[in-house]
Structure 1
């Protein structure tokens, strides 16, 4: 039975059982029960499993080394969903201790399967939000990587931090303004739009853009920012009209 076919009470009990079983697996050095959940076909079971890893890691310092050894072994699985879940589990740990799990992201960025690379992006989002200093320092290492997909993934991955602290990621985004690959430029413009509509973020984004020298990209970014305010009108801090007026006044100075 699928996770969301269960009653709420049964889901709570299943999540508790998953955490208990994974904790026991780490305590006894047995990867079997962990792999059982990491390879489950149900996305939500795998999510409960990688979140359980984060909880066990946080509550049991004596298991840290063993958890990392087992996760590194699991990361070599032939199954993409298992590698994906291992990366997501590392992301839960990285919220508190990025240095301990950097290996998983250095490896996962180059995984042949898109789901594993997407797990890197998702983990980067939550880690940069909760543990920004080491996470963003790591992101800088890949901003100018030869592989355009690596640059795009890193750009996308730091977005969430920008929604609350745009000043933290704008210097990194600025380094991509002359990227010649359309997928990277489009992601850069997308991220600028996604951070600018949040409360208090538009002035910070606009001020930063005013100092960028790629005026063609800045123009496209401004168009996207106004359009995002229109598309997300129920969530944006300003109306599209207010955002457009602010931007025009700022750039006319």
Structure 2
């Protein structure tokens, strides 16, 4: 039976029990709490890494043990365990990125896509609330020879740009001459995603005026206009208003 197949009160009790088991393991190395890291149910694993994040915040004296536990599991043969480790590190990185940075340096190159996707998701959630060190780290990979690394970094910084496009536009611009289709497509996608909320269209388009790759800019502007239709229930401007604004500016 899956996590969301059980009644809500039982789910709450399960999460509480999980937290207590994890705490016991960290304090005494006893119990079977590690089974949560490899559970087949993605929501059980999610509850696990959220609990790890809470324990790191609530029990400062156990922080070294928590990092040591994650480190010991980071090379586990089961990709689900490695994925959970990355996500747990992402919870910690919301406030203490430097201590978990090695998990993301390694996770970017994991042999399985699930831990790599966890890196993207974690960069999104960390970058939203702890942008300084996270974006500095991301910038160091923007010119990596592996196209998938560049693409993942581009995708990972998107969420910060939804509210603060000015923070990530200089990083995105570093990719404007990337010749790899997957990177270019992700770049265009991200530009569209950071341009439809209040105040963002003006910031994004003003920055694009200074980009050199005019073909890319043209595609990005088309994506912005299209996004204003696809997300018309959430966009500050209508599609016609966005199109008119862009036509006047460009």
Range of TM-score over shorter length: over 0.9
The root-mean-square deviation of aligned C-alpha atoms, in Å, is 0.9
**Distance in 2 between residues matched to 1:179 and 1:27, nearest whole Å:** 49
Question: Are 1:26 and 2:26 counterparts?
Answer: yes
> What's the counterpart of residue 199 of structure 2?
200
In the alignment, structure 1 residue 89 sits paired with structure 2 residue 88: yes
Q: Report deviation, 1:26.
A: 1.3
Structure 2 stretches lacking a partner, 5+ long = none
Aligned counterparts of 1:133 and 1:162: Cα–Cα separation in 2: 13
Aligned residue number for residue 2 of structure 2: 2
Query: So what's the TM-score if we normalise by structure 2?
Result: 0.98
Q: Distance in 1 between matches of 2:155 and 2:215?
A: 21
Determine the structure 2 residue equivalent to 1:187.
Answer: 186
The reply on whether 1:249 has 2:234 as its aligned counterpart is: no
| Structure 1 residues 44 and 247: CA distance shift in structure 2, 3 A | same
Contact 1:193 1:225 in 2 (8 A): yes
Q: Which ranges of 4 or more aligned residues in structure 1 deviate by more than 4 Å?
A: none
Q: How far 1:35 moved relative to its partner?
A: 2.1
**Which residue in the other structure is 1:70 paired with?**
69
Number of equivalent positions: 250
Matched-pair contact (CA < 8 Å) for 1:162–1:195: yes
User: Could you tell me which residue of structure 2 aligns to residue 114 of structure 1?
Assistant: 113
1:175 matched to 2:174: yes
C-alpha displacement at 1:149, in angstroms?
A: 0.2
* Residue 17 of structure 1: aligned partner: 17
| 1:155 to partner: Cα distance | 0.3
Partner of 2:65: helix, strand, or coil? helix
204-213 or 21-30, which deviates more: 21-30
CA deviation string 1:75-109 (max 9, x = no partner) = 11000000000000000000010000000000000
Query: Structure 1 unaligned runs (5+)?
Result: none
TM-score normalized by the length of structure 1: 0.97
Match of 1:147 in 2: 146
CA distance in structure 2 between the partners assigned to 1:94 and 1:215 by the alignment? 37
Indicate if the aligned counterparts of 1:37 and 1:46 stay in contact, CA closer than 8 A.
yes
